[in-house]
Amino acid sequence: MKRKYVAEPYRIKMVEPIRVTTKAERIKLLKNAGYNPFSLRSEDVYIDLLTDSGTGAMSQDQWAAMMIGDEAYAGSKSFYRLEGVVKNITGYEYFIPVHQGRGAEKVFLPQLVTHEGMYYISNLHFDTTRAHVELAGARAIDCVVEDCYDIDHYHAFKGNFCIEKLEKAIAEKGKENIAGIIMTITNNSAGGQPVSMANMRKVKEIADKNGIMIIIDGARYAENAFFVKEREEGYQDMDIIDIARETFSYADAFLMSAKKDGLVNMGGIIAIKNNEHLYNLCRTFVVPYEGFPTYGGMNGRDMDALAVGLMEALDENYLRHRIDQVRFLGDKLRDAGVPIQYPVGGHAVFVDCKSFAPHIPYDQFPALSVTNAIYLEAGVRAVEIGSLLLGRDPDTKKNLESRMELMRLTIPRRLYTYDHLDVVAEAVIHVYEHRNELKGYEFQYESPILRHFTSTFKPL
């Protein structure tokens, strides 16, 4: 009988024991954490799907590469090895390492904000990107396709820019007030949804016509390239690396949290196509924010691990299994009637908590309620992607209502087995069957910036 899903393209060489807690223990642990899953200790989590950022397993070749790491403060050999790989993949002239994606945003985004009243336009800004846009003195505008919000509807590229929204935003705000266009691939807040090459090409035409820079927020660019190969006509016979290279040709800069498709636990990238002035500005600011430009917040050994990981993440066998694991969990939930963003994206299953718990209003955070319930049920940690994450209007300070209230079940790379995902599915299905018992939450302490990370709550 033919397998429906793809077996692991690796063998397990080392194991880490994980602790199983009782429900009585988890009730106390969650209360002590202020009902915020971020504040749980990892040792108190059975299956950790909080994030795929830096949580995956590195390969034997990456661990071997760490042994030759050059820890020189300036001019490290590890830097030049990593620089060669980044230039090979992107075709860009300039590269600066940073400690993670937030470091890249902190250094890069303010350089394009040259006066008051400026905007960044994205298909959908993720939380840290939106925060750094606002910290830079600009405002964020989202222009994702409307299909993104139709959870049950199949659309091969729900992460796409809506071209009409994009052109309207540029016309209304004025092209001189657009700091840049951020192309998020895959589109995390949309449900890990991919962006088509045709859409990127059209956005590039619009940007060039208006003299606006395009920045790829490409933490998961390799996964996006796999979806293009799988779903977009004309790409089925292309290698993943060549699809990635075409992707980068439609942008002017590339910011990356390498903790995702770099397959490392820490690291980030700023790559600039050919703008020497912008490169020099970023080099200037990377020194006080991150470190000397040839290490930028990274150890030499981590740069060598990243140089290997970037190439491993472009392996089609790895990507097929990676995305298949996400599909496996999504199919389990959808078959049981649990509402999810369909089709599933590249790194996570996004559960539609607006449909899951319609009796909980947006400002009582239905996705947080569902997230906490699955921890109590099975020790599974997930994360809210909804009105809690969206935060407050930066000007009026009013709670913003997200168009989607999602719980993200984020699959770390090369870490868990299909059996682990079975446990996750059973927990979510059980909570769904008892969804009418769920209650909302209110703040006990609200952090003023990126509040979902450090705020505390109490159940209503």
Contact predicate 298/267, CB 8 Å: yes
> Angle at CA 79, nearest 5°, toward 77 and 85?
110
Structural domain of 326: 23-52+315-459
Q: What is the pLDDT of residues 423-447, one digit of tens each?
A: 999 999 999 999 999 999 999 999 9
Annotated catalytic residue: which of 10, 73, 149, 445? 73
What is the torsion angle, in degrees rounded to the nearest 10, for the CA atoms of residue 18, residue 23, residue 24 and residue 25? 20
Q: Which whole-number Å values give the CA distances from 169 to 148, 166, 196, 197, 448, in the listed order?
A: 18, 5, 21, 22, 28
Contact predicate 434/356, CB 8 Å: no
Decide if 15 is inside a domain: no
36 lies in the same domain as 70: no
pLDDT at 1: 40
Decide if 364 is inside a domain: yes
Give the residue from 264, 291, 312 where a domain finishes: 312
Annotated catalytic residue: which of 217, 261, 304, 352? 217
190 lies in the same domain as 322: no
Decide if 9 is inside a domain: no
Q: Is the pLDDT of residue 251 over 90?
A: yes
128 lies in the same domain as 219: yes
Annotated catalytic residue: which of 158, 229, 260, 347? 260
Catalytic annotation on 209? Answer: no
- Please provide residue 51's backbone torsions phi and psi, each rounded to the nearest 5 degrees: -160, 160
302 lies in the same domain as 323: no
Give the residue from 288, 312, 336 where a domain finishes: 312
Decide if 17 is inside a domain: no
88 lies in the same domain as 28: no
Catalytic annotation on 127? Answer: yes
Decide if 13 is inside a domain: no
> Which residues, including other chains, have CB under 8 Å from residue 130's CB and lie 6 or more apart?
140, 391
Give the residue from 312, 334, 355 where a domain finishes: 312
87 lies in the same domain as 227: yes
Annotated catalytic residue: which of 179, 219, 225, 357? 219
248 lies in the same domain as 135: yes
Q: Which whole-number Å values give the CA distances from 85 to 79, 271, 296, 306, in the listed order?
A: 10, 12, 17, 9
Contact predicate 429/385, CB 8 Å: no
195 lies in the same domain as 293: yes
Q: What is the pLDDT of residues 385-411, one digit of tens each?
A: 999 988 888 888 888 889 989 999 999
Q: What CATH number is associated with residue 366?
A: 3.90.1150.10
211 lies in the same domain as 345: no
pLDDT at 2: 54
Q: Is the pLDDT of residue 80 over 90?
A: yes
What DSSP state is assigned to residue 30? H
Q: What is the pLDDT of residues 216-228, one digit of tens each?
A: 999 999 999 999 9
168 lies in the same domain as 244: yes
Percent of all residues in the chain with a pLDDT value above 70, rounded to a whole number:
99
Work out the pLDDT band at 3, boundaries 50, 70, 90: low
Q: What CATH number is associated with residue 173?
A: 3.40.640.10
From 409, 389, 385, 410, select the one nearest 399 (Cα to Cα): 389
Decide if 1 is inside a domain: no
pLDDT at 391: 86
Alpha-carbon distance of 124 to 452, in angstroms, equals 18
Catalytic annotation on 73? Answer: yes
User: What average pLDDT does the chain have?
Assistant: 96
Annotated catalytic residue: which of 35, 79, 95, 126? 126
Domains identified in the chain, total number = 2
Q: Is the pLDDT of residue 71 over 50?
A: yes
157, with CB counted inside 10 A (0-12, 13-18, 19+), is: buried
341 lies in the same domain as 437: yes
Catalytic annotation on 352? Answer: no
Annotated catalytic residue: which of 52, 70, 127, 142? 127
Alpha-carbon distance of 171 to 182, in angstroms, equals 17
427 lies in the same domain as 298: no
Decide if 373 is inside a domain: yes
Catalytic annotation on 219? Answer: yes
